[in-house]
Amino acid sequence: MNLRERFLEIMRNFNTNVRSIKWEFGYWGKTINNWYKQGLPKKNPAPIPTEISSPTASLYTVAWTCENKFRYKDGVENFPDGIAITAGGLYWPTQGLPLDRDVKDYFNMDETQQLIDVNLLFYPMFEPKTLEEDENHLKYQDVDGVIRLFLKETATIPSGWEWPIKDEKSWEEIKKERINFDNIRQRLPKNWDRLVKEYKNRDYPLVLGGYPHGFFGTPAHLLGYDRLFYFYFDKPKLIHDILNTFTELWIAVYSEVLADIEVDAVHIWEDISFGRGSMVSPNIIREFMLPYYKRFTSFLKSRGVDIILVDTDGYCMDIIPLFIEGGITGMYPFEVSCGMDIIKVRKKFPKLQMMGGIPKSDISLGKRRIDEILEPVKEILKTGGYIPFGDHLIPPEIRWNDFTYYRNRLNNIIDEFGK
């Protein structure tokens, strides 16, 4: 059984006779830098992509690849401390991020789920433009039109400084110039014909969507969170028009893709939850999100896509029923530190596809605690529909020895519960 077949048996069919997949969500750059010093063999460090191809794959590429003296420590070039390194659970390509090889190969983990690199935002993209730069910071316009500030020393995902949609006028200009339904095929990868041949013979999960595309996530990304929260009440027609336009765009793009190839899953990025709850009320979700969710997921299911996953951090237990009503079939990464409990989620939603759910920070507490946090994994693997990994990026305080014990134990558990 290849990885694609395994993924479908686990997520679509809840087949408990098939062993689950060995992925992590990912790692912070500083984590990998530390691990190389602590014992991880540095055989094939992940290259940071430099090509700009689409808003999905290339957001933040300008920041990650800028001149940065802080990347050179002890005479060695390191990953930016705050970059994310994807590891299977977080699809690739995305956000200009590298794809891990060394940790994967060390533990004999599975290949990544691969994202089709289509343009789901603005076409043509905005031209990347440096506005200010010195040895400490970079202020620039990114491919999505957002002006961002990147601090080179901490090197985390750049902060939004100014957003392209400010009011009805700016939205109408962007919509006219950069959302044209007459050039949908131009949003596909340049080498699409060759990729279609590869995809038809693939042995890995092929997915669509991802960051920054969602019915809360995209407006927040293009307006900024504060403006979005006000506009729900002050300019509801504008928000509806933005959501309706992107829903129609995504359906149009996906129609072209699905005419040529089958995909295994669609990811919707929301990050709608923070800490202990949703950033917006159930009423806002019902009014501004559910109508578009239902239209979008109905289209996907009519085209044979029956794995539709929502990515949201934080505590989301209260809003899972709303997402299910909207037609999604699964969620991740179930952050335990925010109060999520995968045992409770499975009991309440027995047919919800799940990924993640292992408290990443507790790996630093040693073998006894690691054994404890892996007990729920055993229970959920008995039910199917679950791919276990840390509940977000593995942080730098996790030492290599502790991660090694955790990952070997998790791999052994996965092997015990299926073939």
Quote the percentage of the chain above a pLDDT of 90: 98
Whether residue 327 is predicted with pLDDT greater than 90 in this model: the reply is: yes
Query: Are 188 and 257 a contacting pair, CB within 8 Å?
Result: yes
Residue 273 counted as domain residue: yes
Residue 117 counted as domain residue: no
159-162, strands of its sheet edge to edge: 129-133, 137-141, 147-151, 159-162
- Report the sign of the C-alpha dihedral through residues 327, 331, 337, 340, in that order: positive
CA pair distance 57, 95, nearest whole angstrom:
5
β pairing state of 76-77 and 72-73: antiparallel
CA angle 403, 409, 411 (to 5 degrees): 100
Per-residue pLDDT reduced to its tens digit, 168-183: 999 999 999 999 999 9
Residue 264 counted as domain residue: yes
CB atoms closer than 10 angstroms to residue 386: 26
Whether residue 44 is predicted with pLDDT greater than 90 in this model: the reply is: yes
What does the DSSP 8-state code read for residue 45? P
β pairing state of 308-312 and 265-269: parallel
Tokens of 112: 């990544």
Query: Are 270 and 311 a contacting pair, CB within 8 Å?
Result: yes
Per-residue pLDDT reduced to its tens digit, 374-387: 999 999 999 999 99
Tokens of 232: 């729900």
Per-residue pLDDT reduced to its tens digit, 56-97: 999 999 999 999 999 998 888 999 999 999 999 999 999 999
**Strand partners for 394:** 27
Tokens of 419: 């073939």
Q: Which residue has the tokens 């999100």?
A: 289
Decide: helix, strand or coil at residue 389.
Answer: coil
Per-residue pLDDT reduced to its tens digit, 86-139: 999 999 999 999 999 999 999 999 999 999 999 999 999 999 999 999 999 999
Residue 163 counted as domain residue: no
**pLDDT for residue 419:** 85
CA pair distance 355, 25, nearest whole angstrom:
9
Question: 385, exposed or middle or buried, with CB in 10 Å at 0-12, 13-18, 19+?
Answer: buried
Residue 160 counted as domain residue: no
**pLDDT for residue 374:** 98
Quote the percentage of the chain above a pLDDT of 70: 100
Number of domains comprising the chain: 1
With residues binned 3-state (H G I as helix, E B as strand, rest as coil), the percentages for the chain, rounded to 5, are 40, 15, 40
Phi, psi at residue 410, to the nearest 5°? -65, -45
**Domain limits at 368?**
3-52+99-111+184-416
Residue 73 counted as domain residue: no
**pLDDT for residue 274:** 85
Decide: helix, strand or coil at residue 387.
Answer: strand
Residue 398's identity, in one-letter code, is I
Q: Label residues 322-338 b or e (16+ Cβ within 10 Å = b).
A: bbbebbbbbbbbbbbeb
The domain that contains 37 carries what CATH number? Answer: 3.20.20.210
Tokens of 313: 């951090």
Average of per-residue pLDDT across 236-258 = 98
Query: Are 95 and 84 a contacting pair, CB within 8 Å?
Result: yes
Query: Are 257 and 116 a contacting pair, CB within 8 Å?
Result: yes
CA angle 101, 375, 264 (to 5 degrees): 45
- Cis ω for the linkage preceding 80 (within 30 of 0): no
Query: Are 318 and 270 a contacting pair, CB within 8 Å?
Result: no
Q: Report the mean per-residue pLDDT for the chain.
A: 97
Q: What ranges make up the beta strands (E) of 49-190?
A: 72-73, 76-77, 84-86, 114-115, 129-133, 137-141, 147-151, 159-162
Helices (H) and strands (E) in the chain, counts: 17, 17
**pLDDT for residue 167:** 98
Residue 106 counted as domain residue: yes
Decide: helix, strand or coil at residue 128.
Answer: coil
pTM of the entire structure? 0.97
Total residues found in the chain within this entry = 419
Tokens of 154: 């901490």
Per-residue pLDDT reduced to its tens digit, 179-221: 999 999 999 999 999 999 999 999 999 999 999 999 999 999 9
**pLDDT for residue 251:** 98
